[in-house]
Amino acid sequence: MRCWLLWDGRRAARRRGWTGSSWWERVEARVQESVRDKDAPQLSPKIPFTPAPSQPNTWERKVATNWKTLFSAALSRPSGGVFWTPDSTALERRRLQARTSASAGSALRFRFTRSTAVLPASILAVVEHCGNARGATEELSASASGLRAPHAPRAKGGPALARLPRQYGGGGRREWRDSCGGGNHHPHSLLCFISADQTCLQEVSRQECFSNAKTEELTGTMKVFCGRANPTTGSVEWLEEDEHYDYHQEIARSSYADMLHDKDRNMKYYQGIRAAVSRVKDRGQKALVLDIGTGTGLLSMMAVTAGADFCYAVEVFKPMADAAVKIVEKNGFSDKIKVINKHSTEVTIGSDGDMPCRANILITELFDTELIGEGALPSYEHAHRHLVQENCEAVPHRATVYAQLVESRKMWSWNKLFPIHVQTSLGEQVIVPPSELERCPGAPSVYDIQLNQVSPTDFTVLSDVLPMFSVDFSKQVSSSTACHCRYFEPLASGRAQVVLSWWDIEMDPEGKIKCTMAPFWAQSNPEELQWRDHWMQCVYFLPQEEPVVQGLAVWLVAHHDDYCVWYSLQRTSPEENERVHPLRPVCDCQAHLLWTRPRFGEINDQDRTDQYVQALRTVLKPDSVCLCVSDGSLLSMLAYHLGAEQVFTIENSAASHRVMKKIFKANRLEDKINIIEKRPELLAPADLEGKKVSLFLGEPFFTTSLLPWHNLYFWYVRTAVAQHLGPGAVVMPQAASLHMVVVEFKDLWRIRSPCGDCEGFDVHIMDDMIKRALDFRESKEAEPHPLWEYPCRSLSEPQKVLTFDFRQPVPSQPVRAEGTIKLRRPGRSHGAVLWMEYHLTPDSTVSTGLLKPTEDKGDCCWNPHCKQAVYFFNTTLDPSVASGSPRTVGYTVEFHPHTGDITMDFILPDVLSC
């Protein structure tokens, strides 16, 4: 049993304004508040953020003592579980998965420096995990958002940090594993500290790591020794990286291109800035601008062009601040724009400060899909108190959050486990969810999606669009917890389940310049809808579905703290209801920590279940001994109901073990299905009661998987347990195949396309920085995206590339495929989409990609429960590379058994390697 320390890095701490002793106080307060458990550790005494130079040893001992206390508390809790700090919503929103690599699911990162270990810069969680190499991620990986990351978590990561891409994470969703290659260490052998000034983790107990640290001291150079958990093989790979590799990764996965391509956003900001500068000038005042989260410096340059006398551009992310300085200089504004590389809460005023006086115009872009999820409220609150004049002009001037109550079986299936119907020889069997799952309010975080891709036939509207609350950014803003109630009469009778939400921002006091995130059905001119992926729409799930009657009024209540929003429905007026300020909902069934929202939808897909049932009928025998290998899968229950003599299931993590145990108990199968909580390679005959496995089965699904082929971990497990398979043992699925198709995206290409010129300003430097970051790590890697949200046309027919025979062990030599894909339709070849198909039996195949043949026009229908892999061609990454209208695309795809990686390269005629 071990404890894991997960972190969000120094920038997360800074963007929250956690400096000095207040950081430690907040950690302690949040632990107590979030855990709400008598066993929660008391983290005291308070420890200053920076140690006194004269007493480093004493300070280090205090840190070690307190973290040992925290570790011990986690280890000693009878039920195990998770400690969230600073709060669970922040963890989910920041998407642990966004910190991972699409190719390797990066886990704990070890950086060796000449300095001693210091207090963690921003601790997110300490997790109990029972020893296995694969499973540390399962405890947390399925953040309620579904391990999204696509393109921003979806957030910039602070008032000026690059938005991280949604595709890395959330979906996964989820990917933390053993950091030390095997996980057989004593509970106290892994004592880790995170460096506050390096955003890193140091392990001080393993001799080889300590020796590497010594080596770095002697050479005087900075290296990053990264332990990356491989989601396909389950092993840990140690790589030496450049010290700024994480910066390259964040830049490469940022959505700056998406923002710069957002013409509606840029135009409205420009109009609002011109109007604000004019109002100040009309009062006979100098226009002094504070731009918080300047990014490229675009809004600051707009302000100076509009007539501002001077602009102070605050940017906390150093690589971005450096780029802003160069962009400002290239456009000729260096004499009127000062870039300040600080968090806005660290900016000082005065003759020797960052700003000589307070600004009278406040410009910001601190918003995420949820509006306040990037810390907009605390940043505005601080700015009004310390950095801007009273009654200053603000751009945007106001934001309004809207909500619409709906009933939707499809969306509700992303949050609750439905009864599963299984037709057996004895009649229909129903797999029911445990009462804990039915009562559980669910995970607290928002599910952000492209709501325009949800058909209106998938939900029933129960209310009009309701303005829930507004924030006036030109006045003092409060980040305190608040609630806002709206009284309405339902438009129809039904079950209130889901709240759809979005916001708009008004750039001027009169509200004439407006930028809205409303979905098409709430737009006055839906044909002019602006596509964007850095701001989308929100899906919130009510704690429990509530029946409503047409015409019988109820109250919809929006609650928010400084970072997140949640909703409740009430039948009495707020004045009569004592619970108008309920606590943020927290998952207490653990299923919402184990399964992502897409995974909930997949499990609830009855058609998919029926396909597995049909396949099982063809391979099961009355004396079958089944071994099921998939994370949190109901496949073992299907096998039992269909007549297997004995069923075993491997659940690597404590969380999946607990959830499945509850489900088995609810269905009276706790003594019928044996749960094995052990790494597959450590499986012993006694675990199987001395029996040989006659049916080895899986979906396969693993919470650590990001890219489609990561679920080939099933193949590695099958190889590891080969000695336990009986003669003639059946494997289901018996094989898998990798498929691809060349596509033209309607909009998704924008997230990787350079901008060049934005509203008349030259931002090539930003394009070059992203390209260098892509060249450093990402350009030859595929990215996971839920393509049901991103329309595209196929330019070729789907083509099978590689086949993996699960009936045989993993080969020792690489498997390579070369060929060409013929393009049958005209269009811009933006990239290739790859997915896996699993052949359950010779006659039954489950696809994680295309669900049916493409239509004549090439329109694609994608599996909504899975992410597909997208490989963007160089013609998308660099428009200067002319592609013309190629008729074929050459490809090379290679599977490397040792690492589990699939590498690929594409060539378009007359174009260099893509």
How much of the chain is in helix, strand and coil states, percent to nearest 5? 30, 30, 45
Integer Cα distance of 356 and 308 in angstroms: 16
- DSSP characters for 52-74? -TT-HHHHHHHHHHHHHHHHHHH
Token pair, residue 665, equals 């108990």
Contact 146, 597 (CB under 8 A): yes
Which residues are tagged catalytic?
Answer: 365, 374
Nearest-10 crossing angle of helices 318-330, 298-305:
30
Residues facing residue 534 across a β-bridge: none
- pLDDT at site 238: 59
- pLDDT at site 773: 78
The amino acid at residue 636 is S
Burial 758-777 (b: 16+ CB within 10 A, else e): bbebbbebbbebbbebbebb
Determine how β-strand 200-203 pairs with β-strand 223-229.
unpaired
Token pair, residue 524, equals 């006055």
- pLDDT at site 109: 27
Integer Cα distance of 253 and 148 in angstroms: 13
Contact 310, 336 (CB under 8 A): yes
Smallest CA-to-CA distance from 693 within 683, 702, 701, 705 is with 683
- DSSP characters for 451-471? GGGS-GGG-EE-S--EEEEEE
Q: Give the helix/strand (H/E) hosting 610.
A: helix 606-619
- pLDDT at site 206: 29
Token pair, residue 877, equals 């990454």
The amino acid at residue 83 is F
CA distances from 550 to 465, 489, 494, 499, 570 (A): 16, 7, 8, 17, 15
Integer Cα distance of 80 and 2 in angstroms: 11
Count Cβ atoms below 10 Å from residue 260 Cβ, excluding itself: 25
Burial 586-611 (b: 16+ CB within 10 A, else e): bbebbbbbbbbbbbbbbbbbeebbee
DSSP state of 809: P
Torsional class of 146: left (φ above 0), alpha (ψ -120 to 50), beta (otherwise): left
The amino acid at residue 284 is G
- pLDDT at site 504: 98
Beta strands in 279-334 (DSSP E): 288-292, 310-314
Q: CB under 8 Å to 457, separation ≥6 — which residues?
A: none
- pLDDT at site 30: 43
- pLDDT at site 106: 26
Q: Give the helix/strand (H/E) hosting 483.
A: strand 482-488
Q: Give the helix/strand (H/E) hosting 613.
A: helix 606-619
**Tokens 């997960």 label which residue?**
6
Task: Output phi, psi for 45, to 5 deg.
Answer: -75, 170
Peptide bond into 41 cis (omega under 30): no
Torsional class of 17: left (φ above 0), alpha (ψ -120 to 50), beta (otherwise): left
Apex 908 CA angle, 907 and 912, nearest 5: 65
Task: Output phi, psi for 656, to 5 deg.
Answer: -65, -35
- Torsion angle defined by CA atoms of residues 149, 151, 155 and 159, in that order, rounded to the nearest 10 degrees: 140
- pLDDT at site 239: 59
Provide the 3-class DSSP secondary structure of residue 603: helix
Nearest-10 crossing angle of helices 263-282, 298-305:
40
Determine how β-strand 337-340 pairs with β-strand 398-407.
unpaired
CA distances from 434 to 173, 547, 602, 611, 902 (A): 24, 22, 18, 24, 39
Dihedral of alpha carbons 167, 168, 169, 172, sign: positive
DSSP state of 479: -
Domains of the chain from N-terminus onward: 2-150+161-251 (no CATH), 257-365 (3.40.50.150), 399-425+437-576 (2.70.160.11), 605-732 (3.40.50.150), 736-907 (2.70.160.11)
- Torsion angle defined by CA atoms of residues 741, 742, 744 and 749, in that order, rounded to the nearest 10 degrees: 100
Contact 1, 118 (CB under 8 A): no
Token pair, residue 604, equals 């609830």
Integer Cα distance of 572 and 567 in angstroms: 15
**Tokens 């205090």 label which residue?**
62
Contact 482, 584 (CB under 8 A): no
pLDDT average per 10 residues of sequence, the chain (914 residues): 32 37 41 39 33 35 38 34 33 31 26 28 30 32 31 28 34 28 29 29 30 35 57 67 59 76 97 98 98 96 98 94 96 98 96 97 96 94 98 98 99 97 92 96 91 97 98 96 95 98 98 97 91 96 96 95 93 68 82 94 97 97 96 97 96 91 97 94 95 97 94 97 96 98 96 91 92 67 94 96 98 96 93 98 97 90 97 73 71 95 87 50
Beta strands in 625-680 (DSSP E): 625-629, 646-650, 673-676
Smallest CA-to-CA distance from 867 within 242, 174, 180, 66 is with 174
Contact 592, 602 (CB under 8 A): no
Q: What is the pTM of this model?
A: 0.78
Overall size of the chain counted in residues:
914
Helices (H), 306-449: 318-330, 376-386, 409-412, 435-439
Token pair, residue 296, equals 């490229």
**Tokens 């750039």 label which residue?**
507
